[in-house]
Amino acid sequence: MIIVTGAAGFIGSCLVSKLNQEGFKDIVIVDDFSNPEKMKNLEGKIFSQKIHRDDFVEWLKQNHRFTQFVFHIGARTDTTEFDKNIFDKLNLNYTKDIWNLCVKFGLPLVYASSAATYGLGELGYDDNEALIDQLKPLNPYGDSKNDFDKWALKQERKPYFFVGLKFFNVYGPNEYHKGRMASVFFHAYNQIQEKGSMKLFRSHNPNYKDGEQLRDFVYVKDVVEVCYFLLHHRKDSGIYNLGSGTARTFLDLVKNTFAALGKPPQIEFVDTPIDIRDKYQYFTEANMNKLKSIGYSKSFYTLEEGVKDYVQNYLTGKKYL
């Protein structure tokens, strides 16, 4: 059995799809299954059991003998939520419980960390574990992910194989339910379809022109390819970046979305809201050398390839992976 937490969500459901494509059917999916929009992500997927996240820890205690691998992808990911108690419960303490059971029962674990741990990138974007204690995330979500990374590295007892994946700006199919937390690609597609134009934040940093703020955008199909690689790799434990390795501008993103729709670019710039302006990231880019050094050799989708595939094969017609 392979366990996938957050299985009804964006990345989790795409991972279940990838596992199905590779012939894995005995999958235990874990989530809060109360959102009907999220449940659409699971239509057509093959799995053997469905466990509510509140019941999972006790379930694992009883069923660890049948478990081959744990992908803990589920998390509260709302960067605008500022109630630390929510993140302590769902991101920090829940993950500690899963970690401890993986240690106790000898189970391999891949869990979702986040590039939000890097804050404004004062120390760069290298997945050097020696720097993790010095990172300064910008919000409680980033704090919760960094707090767990720090805790995990300090544990004397660790799963025989574990990897924390620092997801950068992931985009792609199955994010329809995410609302305001969906990727910029999703919002760009909808805004262009509705209004024929797209609004981007104006730059308030003299080092960057309007629309030339840079992000590391990574296609969700690449994310699940890395997860699948780790399912079979099972060595070189640690915390790894997972981005494309190439920063691209928001202008690149939007122009490619217009191109995928066969429409001429119509772009407007608006001021970045005052309340987020001092915490706005102008540059993120994952150093991917560490993952490559352990043998991951597949090439990543370029922005052009990812946008075209996402827009034409999924967003148009609201299809799922």
Q: Looking at the annotation, which residues are catalytic?
A: 141, 178
Asked if residues 55 and 49 have their Cβ atoms less than 8 Å apart, the reply is no
Q: What is the DSSP string of 127-185?
A: --GGGGGG---SSHHHHHHHHHHHHHHH-SS--SSEEEEEE-EEE-SS-GGGGGGS-HH
CA distances from 96 to 102, 116, 146, 150, 301 (A): 10, 19, 13, 11, 33
- How many CA atoms lie within 13 Å of 65's alpha carbon, on the beta-carbon side? 1
Residue with tokens 């707090």: 147
